[in-house]
A and B are shown apart, each in its own frame.
Chain A
Amino acid sequence: MLASKVEKKAIFIFFAILLTMVIIMSGQARTPTGSSYLANAVFSLLSPLSRGAHSAVSLVKDRWKAYIDLRGAYEEKERLEERVWHLEAEYINIEELRSHNERLRALLGLPEATPYPSLPAEVIGNDSSGYFKSIIINRGTSHSLRPDMPATAPGGLVGRVIRTSTWASQVQLITDLNSGVAAMVQRSRAQGVVVGEGSNMCRMKYVTNLDDVAADDLVITSGMEGIYPKGIPIGRVVIVKKGATLFQQIRVIPTVNLKKLEEVLIILKERETLPFKKSQ
């Protein structure tokens, strides 16, 4: 009798909790950044724990690494010096091209492209679930980070900030199942949307069969969604298939190795309000 009473109570609590979860899930459809207050509160409360644990583990790992690295320090120095010479030569070329570009833009009367300020951040953690792809970084609202700011790394786009606390933030990777980036093929300017597959690959959707896309084409951001600045490399086309439908099936491999991220660069750019949203 008592056991069945406890079970009845448990079943009632079970359905009440499930209903609460459904309400929480459906509530997100209304918030623009796709993040609920409850999750933000828990993230703010517990992210210092992750940060602290990461710092402690890093300290031990860094000491050990410093000791190990000492052995190959001389060879590393030689290799880096050679790399610096190469990069200096490249820098001179880039500077020349930049001034050339500025002169041409002035001649054509094009507006000057203003680079956004950026902030480096260290990756301190990964997604808490194996089904989704995100990282936790050691910068938050105290460093002027806001949701929807783009994250990049040497080589291209990483993702966007989805949740912030005072000292840490969460960045959704472009390979995440729920990620979407307005994109275009650099060579042919064919436009589409790059969505994550939940693995280490992405798909480019809504590119019509008439558009010119080939394997090894570079896919870059188009800036159409108002989050990412135009022209950041996303990935390279690896497979193109003309579909039976209107659109081609295109698979893209990110230019950045998202599995080995240690540092990212956050572009301090607020989300732009799109023209059709302004009128609403």
Chain B
Amino acid sequence: MNVYLRIAISILLALIVQTIGIQAFSKSIVYLDVFLLVVVYFAAKQGLLTGILVGAVGGLVQDSFSSGIIGIHGFAKTVVGFIIGLLSSTLVIDNLLTQAFILGLASLLNGVVIIGINYLFLHPPLRSFWGILGYQSLGNIGVGVAIFQSARLYSLVKERRWTS
């Protein structure tokens, strides 16, 4: 499948899970940032430029369905896409620990940028910021590592089929 089509489908899926997930599945989806997982995945797999572009588009879609300042998620996700894209050229992403590290780093960067910009716009600081950030990082690492590993397994199976 074309990479642009995969990106578009991933962003739309992220939107559906993130907006209707709490109503339809579980309240704990609030501790998951599916848009961030999409950005980290494509930045790690496709590199710097794709990471930046997926971050910008995914962030703006997230902004349109959030009550925060428009552009705040776009800004944060672009920064995340850039940093993870840069790291992907130096780190071995297939490693489980590396995946957990980049997902944790991405969650931290995303949260700090969002709350930092909000604070710059003279809005009050979020009282439970560290709590939300902690839970969200754990959620993102857990689900993100599972996605990375599933994708790796899928590509391995596909490769084996191809060679046999």
One of A70-78, A122-130, A241-249, A267-275 contacting the partner: A122-130
One of A21-29, A85-93, A225-233 contacting the partner: A21-29
Contacts of A58 in B (CB 8 A): 24
Per the CB 8 Å criterion, the residue count for chain B at the interface is 56
Contacts of A134 in B (CB 8 A): 66-67
A169–B15 alpha-carbon span in the complex (Å): 15
Contacts of B39 in A (CB 8 A): none
Output the least CB separation between B33 and chain A (Å).
6
| B52 nearest CB neighbor, chain A only | A14
Contacts of B123 in A (CB 8 A): 177-178
Contacts of A53 in B (CB 8 A): 16, 20, 24
Q: Dominant SS at the B interface?
A: helix
B15, A128: Cβ atoms closer than 8 Å: yes
A198, B71: Cβ atoms closer than 8 Å: no
A177, B126: Cβ atoms closer than 8 Å: yes
**Which interface class (under 10, 10 to 19, 20 to 34, 35 or more) fits A?**
35 or more
* B85 adjacent to chain A (CB < 8 Å): yes
* B149 adjacent to chain A (CB < 8 Å): no
Partner of B126, one of A17, A40, A127, A198: A198
From 66 to 89 in chain B, residues with beta carbon under 8 angstroms from any chain A beta carbon are 66-75, 78-79, 82, 85
* A84 adjacent to chain B (CB < 8 Å): no
A39–B63 alpha-carbon span in the complex (Å): 7
Contacts of B79 in A (CB 8 A): 18
| A55 nearest CB neighbor, chain B only | B20
B64, A132: Cβ atoms closer than 8 Å: no
Contacts of B15 in A (CB 8 A): 46, 49-50, 128
Contacts of B99 in A (CB 8 A): none
B69, A54: Cβ atoms closer than 8 Å: no
B74, A127: Cβ atoms closer than 8 Å: no
Contacts of A253 in B (CB 8 A): none
From 145 to 190 in chain A, residues with beta carbon under 8 angstroms from any chain B beta carbon are 162-163, 170, 172-173, 176-179
A129, B16: Cβ atoms closer than 8 Å: no
B20, A128: Cβ atoms closer than 8 Å: no
A14–B59 alpha-carbon span in the complex (Å): 14
Contacts of A197 in B (CB 8 A): 124, 126-128
Contacts of A18 in B (CB 8 A): 75, 78-79
A201–B27 alpha-carbon span in the complex (Å): 18
Output the least CB separation between B126 and chain A (Å).
4
A129–B63 alpha-carbon span in the complex (Å): 8
A131–B76 alpha-carbon span in the complex (Å): 13
Proximity bits, B94-132, A CB within 8 Å = 1, else 0: 000000000000000001001101100101101111001
A24, B70: Cβ atoms closer than 8 Å: yes
A201–B124 alpha-carbon span in the complex (Å): 14
A124–B129 alpha-carbon span in the complex (Å): 26
Contacts of B23 in A (CB 8 A): 54, 57, 123-126
Query: A25-B117, A177-B118, A199-B127 are contacts. A127–B67 as well, Cβ < 8 Å?
Result: yes
B65, A128: Cβ atoms closer than 8 Å: yes
A172, B67: Cβ atoms closer than 8 Å: yes
A14–B85 alpha-carbon span in the complex (Å): 11
Output the least CB separation between B15 and chain A (Å).
6
Which 6 pairs across A and B sit closest by C-beta, in order of nearness? A125-B19, A42-B64, A134-B67, A24-B71, A128-B65, A57-B24
**Could you list 9 examples of A-B contacts with CB < 8 Å?**
A6-B49, A25-B69, A25-B72, A42-B63, A46-B65, A58-B24, A126-B21, A177-B126, A178-B68
Identify 15 new A-B residue pairs, CB closer than 8 A, beyond the known A39-B60, A46-B15, A178-B67: A13-B52, A22-B75, A24-B70, A24-B71, A25-B71, A35-B70, A50-B15, A53-B24, A57-B23, A128-B19, A128-B62, A129-B73, A129-B114, A133-B67, A178-B123
